[in-house]
Amino acid sequence: MNIFVSGGNKNGKSGYAQDIAVKLAGGGKLYYIATMIPYDDEDRARVARHIENRAGMGFETIEAGRNIESVFETADEKGTFLVDSTTALLLNEMYPGSYEEEADRNAASRCIRGLLEIAGRAGNAVFVSDYIYSDAARYDDFTEMYRSSLASIDRAMAEACDTVIEVCAGNLIVHKGELP
């Protein structure tokens, strides 16, 4: 089963996705695919919170900030995978060196290919994304390209997944399929 979880920042997506993944794993192999590459103290604190929140849940963490499909080099594809998050993965793929470089305009396509490979090969997969593109404000070209790229990833994942869930202020809205 493949499940896509989206929603606003700090709305409970990761915690909910962790619970779903544990349930889907049913005691089998359980992988947390960590896509965030921490760059500052705020990022490191966020990573530490996520590690603390999933302590004792049985996750094996695989760091995959780029080339997401590489997780199969070490993970059993019959396992359950929690990819948190497509948002960070896209940023890492768009700017593999530094943010001063020009954005890689093929990053979204690479992310989609890798994420769809996980969806196709994994026993179960849960994908987490941030819903950042719904406001009406017009941003600079960098931000607009990022938002558009993330939206294309989210559409592809929503189409590929059995269940699509939005988390809003801790409330679940099922847009496709059923809750596991």
DSSP letters spanning 140-160: -HHHHHHHHHHHHHHHHHHHH
Question: Which residues is 4 bridged to in the sheet?
Answer: 127, 164
Q: Within 13 Å of residue 64, how many CA atoms lie on the same side as its CB?
A: 25
169 conformational bin, left if phi > 0, alpha if psi -120 to 50, beta if neither? left
Who's near 34: CB < 8 A, 6+ residues apart?
47, 50, 61, 62, 63, 64, 65, 84
| Cα dihedral value 112, 113, 115, 118, nearest 10 | 160
d(CA 138, CA 128): 25
Tens of pLDDT, residue by residue over 132-164, are 877 777 888 888 889 999 999 999 999 999 999
- Dihedral of CA atoms 121, 90, 32, 11 in degrees, nearest 10, equals -120
| pLDDT value of position 12 | 83
Assigned CATH for 14-168: 3.40.50.300
DSSP tag of 72: G
DSSP letter (8 states) at residue 131: -
The residue ranges of every structural domain in the chain are 14-168
Task: Read off the pTM.
Answer: 0.92
For residue 100, the model assigns a pLDDT of 64
Over its length of 180 residues, how does the chain's per-residue pLDDT go in tens digits?
Answer: 999 999 987 788 888 999 999 999 999 999 999 999 888 898 888 888 888 888 899 999 999 999 999 999 999 999 999 999 999 999 999 988 766 678 888 999 999 999 999 999 999 999 999 988 777 778 888 888 899 999 999 999 999 999 999 998 889 999 999 988
Q: Which pLDDT does position 99 carry in this prediction?
A: 60
Residues in the chain: 180
User: CA 79, CA 63: separation in Å to the nearest integer?
Assistant: 16
